[in-house]
Amino acid sequence: MSASGIGTSALLAFQRAIGTTSNNIANSATEGYSRQRTELSNLTPQFLGGSFQGQGVQVDTVRRISDDFVNTQLRNSISDQSNAELKASLAGRIDDLLGSSSSGLTPVLQDFFDAGQDLANDPTSSAARTVFLTEAESLAERFASIDRRIEEQRDIINGQIRTNVEEINSLTDAIAGLNREIVSKSTQGTPNDLLDQRDRVLNQLAEKVNVRITEQDDGAVNVFVGNGQALVLGGNNRELVAESLTGDPRSPDIGLATSGDPVNISRFIQGGELGALLETRTGIIDEAQNTLGRLAISIGAEYNQQNNLGLDLEGNLGADIFGIGDPAVRGFPGNESDDVPSVEFGDVRDLTTSDYRLSYNGTDYELRKLSDGEVVASGNGVLEADGIIVDTATIGGQVEGDGWLIQPTRNGSRDLSVEMTDPSRIAAASAVRADLGDDNAGDAAIASVRAADPTIDLEALPADDPDEVVFDADIGDRGAFVIDGEEFELSEDGVTTIEFNGWEMEVRGAPADGDIFKVSSNEGYPGDNRNMLAMNELSDQRLVGGDRTFGDGYNSLLANVGTRTRQAQVAQESADAQLAQARAQREAVSGVNLDEEAADLIRYQQAYQAAAQVISVSNSLFDSLLGAFRR
């Protein structure tokens, strides 16, 4: 090739290089732009006069400077940061709600306890009784108020879940479209700008959910979420749906659209805003509502039970103070049976904060705790576990695969109400009293006596015909208390509990043979405060879940939410730092350095001018050669 041809090849090559450099400079502030570099190579040399003569330069390609590993790290960091930031924000809202002195439960709960103490101090006071009922109403209203506020946060989260699903579908559709364009243009060269555009969309998708990317041989990428569920396969995308798939209309699940019913993939969704929303709803919103519900149910049931064991001002056994709702039960979408099981509370002290799934396998029912997957009961008929009683006999037309969602405590705080309207119905007095026989010779004393069964027949215990317990020293090694043929052996430590006819009496000390202990109705003693004292003692007993007091039950919720909030804040700080580092690493690899580009521009400009000079010299030589022939 002549010098003119060599110069022309150089001129064209450096013109392309200048164009590439100019494009880098122009896009230096464009988000997601990857700098490009013109790749040059020498033309095949020609063999002349015993040696190879260079033939100039050519442009091989304009290469996009990008590192897949760095880009993957950036996407993961984006997903982690958006996840941590949203979780910290959402957890902070619930923490503020529960911990506030104006909206939290602690001050109202303490006022309720204090009103009970005041009533115990003056059990005949109508004012003290009215205040106690008023504080009970305030407590129920505060439970309901907190539940409403939490439900508002649930509504916000559910709305954001639906919005995120719509945005994810839009982004995956865009990725599939870009895949098609990239594949179609790859035969003509590398479509750098389309690759950058696709990376930007992938980063936007990573903000919504953690994704895994694999590249095909034709340049298209496949996008997977969760446990390998495909959102994009080449030029096709699959949509997500947000709808109830497990029977809870208040908590839409994430489903992967198929030709049939959507496949529930909620448990596989991780990272990004969508992962944060699902984690917060399950780990904080659901847990807070269930914990509050269990606390409300426990308070209502325990105070009702104790009030049922005492006498009101009219001498009747106490009525319920609180109203308690029933466990929530819903059938799964797609059930063959439209029926639901009958579910009621058993021993509320055994209640957990978990939801449950009742499923039918064609023969038996299985009750599974959703918090840890443990099967707590199975069989047919009545299933009893964790403080709930499930009667499957109310279900008809069931087929294998039918399932029901049971939420024992979800609506507990919402449904707590005060049923008692008459303050005189508060049973401050004990239902029974006990007296020593007139001729007792031993030093045994009656430590306590109370009604043990709310169905106790007080009319069968008149003062002039009480139940009489007689101590017989000749029975057994230590003697025994006897009533109507039933024997209660004297305890070694001198504390003996006697249960009979719906009442329970505790005797302490050493009775003498023939000593008598009389139990009768307490009617006619309105100033008695023993049952009110027993109600007040409930606040210090570990009745919630069998291991917490009422106050501890709420404080544990505060501690749990506070811990989660702090963990989210720490995670956000770490994620912010990691994202900044990932962005810096990406910029170091793919970002535009204006100083370098300016230096390259000058270098290519000088090379371009030199190539032009080569052409000029070549033309001059050619003209001189032509002139020599003319002579």
Q: Which helix (H) or strand (E) holds 478?
A: none
How far is 345 from 120, CA to CA, in rounded Å? 30
Q: Which helix (H) or strand (E) holds 7?
A: helix 3-26
* pLDDT value at residue 370: 93
Total count of residues recorded for the chain:
631
* pLDDT value at residue 101: 81
User: Do 334 and 404 belong to one domain?
Assistant: yes
* Three-point CA angle 442, 503, 116, nearest 5°: 105
Higher pLDDT, 615 or 476: 476
Number of continuous H segments (helices) and E segments (strands) in the chain: 11, 31
Range of lowest pLDDT (5-19, 41-55, 198-212, 551-565): 41-55
* pLDDT value at residue 293: 97
Give the predicted TM-score (pTM) of the model. Answer: 0.86
Task: Pull the structure tokens for residue 341.
Answer: 């099981």
In a domain, 541, yes or no: no
> How many CA atoms lie less than 13 Å away from 241 in the CB half-sphere?
13
Task: Pull the structure tokens for residue 367.
Answer: 């009750």
174-180: average pLDDT: 95
* pLDDT value at residue 160: 96
Contact 488, 277 (CB under 8 A): no
Contact 556, 477 (CB under 8 A): no
User: Do 450 and 478 belong to one domain?
Assistant: yes
Contact 353, 290 (CB under 8 A): yes
User: Do 385 and 444 belong to one domain?
Assistant: no
> How many CA atoms lie less than 13 Å away from 288 in the CB half-sphere?
32
In a domain, 186, yes or no: yes
Could you give the C-alpha distances from 397 to 35, 335, 360, 394, in angstroms and in order? 66, 10, 11, 10
* pLDDT value at residue 623: 60
In a domain, 250, yes or no: yes
pLDDT tops 90 at residue 261: no
Contact 531, 428 (CB under 8 A): yes
* pLDDT value at residue 329: 95
Residue 63 region by backbone torsions, left for phi larger than 0, else alpha for psi between -120 and 50, else beta: beta
Torsion angle, alpha carbons of 16, 19, 25, 27, to 10: -100
* pLDDT value at residue 319: 95
* pLDDT value at residue 597: 86
Closest CA to 478 of 428, 502, 513: 513
* pLDDT value at residue 281: 94
Q: In this predicted model, what pLDDT tens digit does every residue of 343-374 receive, in sequence order?
A: 999 999 999 999 999 999 999 999 999 999 99
Tell me the average pLDDT of the chain.
91
118-135: average pLDDT: 96
In three state form, how does the secondary structure of 277-331 look? HHHHHHHHHHHHHHHHHHHHHHHHHHHHHHHHCEECCCCCECCCCEECCCCEEEE
How far is 256 from 168, CA to CA, in rounded Å? 12
Identity of residue 310: G
In a domain, 358, yes or no: yes
Quickly count: other Cβ atoms within 10 Å of residue 486's Cβ: 13
Could you give the C-alpha distances from 560 to 13, 233, 236, 294, in angstroms and in order? 66, 41, 43, 15
Q: Which of 472, 504, 521 is the last residue of a domain?
A: 521
Q: Which of 521, 536, 559 is the last residue of a domain?
A: 521
pLDDT tops 80 at residue 130: yes
259-277: average pLDDT: 91
Residue 17 CB partners (closer than 8 Å, separation 6+)? 38, 40, 59, 600, 604, 607
In a domain, 606, yes or no: yes
Strand order in the sheet with 516-521: 432-436, 516-521, 467-472, 480-483, 486-489
In a domain, 611, yes or no: yes
Percent of all residues in the chain with a pLDDT value above 70, rounded to a whole number: 98
User: Do 125 and 193 belong to one domain?
Assistant: yes
* pLDDT value at residue 11: 86
Residue 141 CB partners (closer than 8 Å, separation 6+)? none
Contact 483, 469 (CB under 8 A): yes
Contact 350, 546 (CB under 8 A): yes
63 strand-pairing partners: 37
* pLDDT value at residue 494: 87
* pLDDT value at residue 431: 95
User: Do 555 and 609 belong to one domain?
Assistant: no
Q: In this predicted model, what pLDDT tens digit does every residue of 501-541 receive, in sequence order?
A: 999 999 999 999 999 999 999 998 888 999 999 999 999 99
How many domains are contained in the chain?
4
Q: In this predicted model, what pLDDT tens digit does every residue of 612-631 receive, in sequence order?
A: 888 777 777 656 666 666 65
Residue 54 CB partners (closer than 8 Å, separation 6+)? 6, 42, 43, 45
Beta strands 417-418; 322-323: pairing state: antiparallel
User: Do 111 and 178 belong to one domain?
Assistant: yes
User: Do 156 and 119 belong to one domain?
Assistant: yes
Q: Which of 360, 379, 410 is the last residue of a domain?
A: 410
Q: In this predicted model, what pLDDT tens digit does every residue of 367-405 receive, in sequence order?
A: 999 999 999 999 999 999 999 999 999 999 999 999 999
Contact 139, 203 (CB under 8 A): no
User: Do 356 and 443 belong to one domain?
Assistant: no
Question: In terms of residue numbers, what domain contains 485?
Answer: 432-521
Closest CA to 79 of 264, 176, 203: 203
In a domain, 530, yes or no: no
pLDDT tops 80 at residue 587: yes
* pLDDT value at residue 42: 87
> 417 by DSSP, 3-state: which?
strand
* pLDDT value at residue 1: 57
Q: In this predicted model, what pLDDT tens digit does every residue of 211-257 receive, in sequence order?
A: 999 999 888 999 999 888 999 999 999 999 999 888 888 889 999 98
In a domain, 527, yes or no: no
User: Do 43 and 86 belong to one domain?
Assistant: no
* pLDDT value at residue 409: 96
CA gyration radius, the chain: 40
φ/ψ of residue 421, rounded to 5:
-115, -20
User: Do 120 and 41 belong to one domain?
Assistant: no
Sign, CA torsion 326/327/332/337: negative
User: Do 376 and 443 belong to one domain?
Assistant: no
User: Do 41 and 110 belong to one domain?
Assistant: no
